[in-house]
Amino acid sequence: MKLLILGLGNELLSDDAVGVLAARALKERLKDKADVVESALSGMALLDLLIGYERAIIIDAVQTRRAPPGTIYELTPADLGAGAAPSPHYAGLPELIATAHALKLNFPKEIKIFAMEVADPYTIGGTPSPAVAQALKELIQRVEAQATHWLASYPRA
């Protein structure tokens, strides 16, 4: 099974770096078992990163203000719904999946999203907030557990 772990974010923007930092930590732990990629891309640009994988784990920051910073959400694309994109130039995961299906692309059949509630995704040059920094270890452990579960179920080709 080809597994992608995709850590999203901008490491120059305080809490927004959480996906990249988690991916960086997982790269060594999961080497030779999964492809671990760090990316600051968004929208349709993510399509190229996801094509060719059977399963994908996406790690990203989210700011809903509905839970304390450091809260970790485990989601599937179905949890995100099929909301309309706010502009023709933006595409979220639901739009990516719809595009991949419409174009009959080899897109992951299963996607798990690990999103961490963050306090400050905008400060340039900042380090992660204390709550996010403290929760990062748990995020890494949960992603690694999911990856290990999938890899045990379907050995990599």
Q: Which of 34-48, 75-89, 143-157 has the highest mean pLDDT?
A: 34-48
Residue 156 tokens read as 């990599």
Say what the pLDDT of residue 157 is.
Answer: 53
What is the value of pTM for the model shown?
A: 0.92
3-state DSSP assignment of residue 59 = strand
Tell me the C-alpha distance between 16 and 122, whole Å: 7
Say what the pLDDT of residue 88 is.
Answer: 52
3-8: strand order across its sheet: 35-39, 3-8, 55-62, 110-117, 72-75
Residue 45 tokens read as 């640009």
Kind and range of the H or E element at 49? helix 45-50
90: pLDDT strictly greater than 80: no
What's the chain's average pLDDT?
92
Domain span holding position 34: 3-153
Question: Which residues have CB under 8 Å from 86's CB, separation 6+?
Answer: none
Task: Provide the pLDDT confidence category of residue 83 given band limits of 50, 70 and 90.
Answer: low
Average pLDDT over residues 128-143: 98
Say what the pLDDT of residue 130 is.
Answer: 96
pLDDT above 70 covers a percentage of the chain that reads: 92
What's 119's DSSP letter? S
Average pLDDT over residues 44-69: 96
Q: Where residue 101 sits, what CATH number does that domain have? A: 3.40.50.1450
Say what the pLDDT of residue 80 is.
Answer: 84
Say what the pLDDT of residue 126 is.
Answer: 79
Count the domains in the chain: 1
Say what the pLDDT of residue 121 is.
Answer: 93
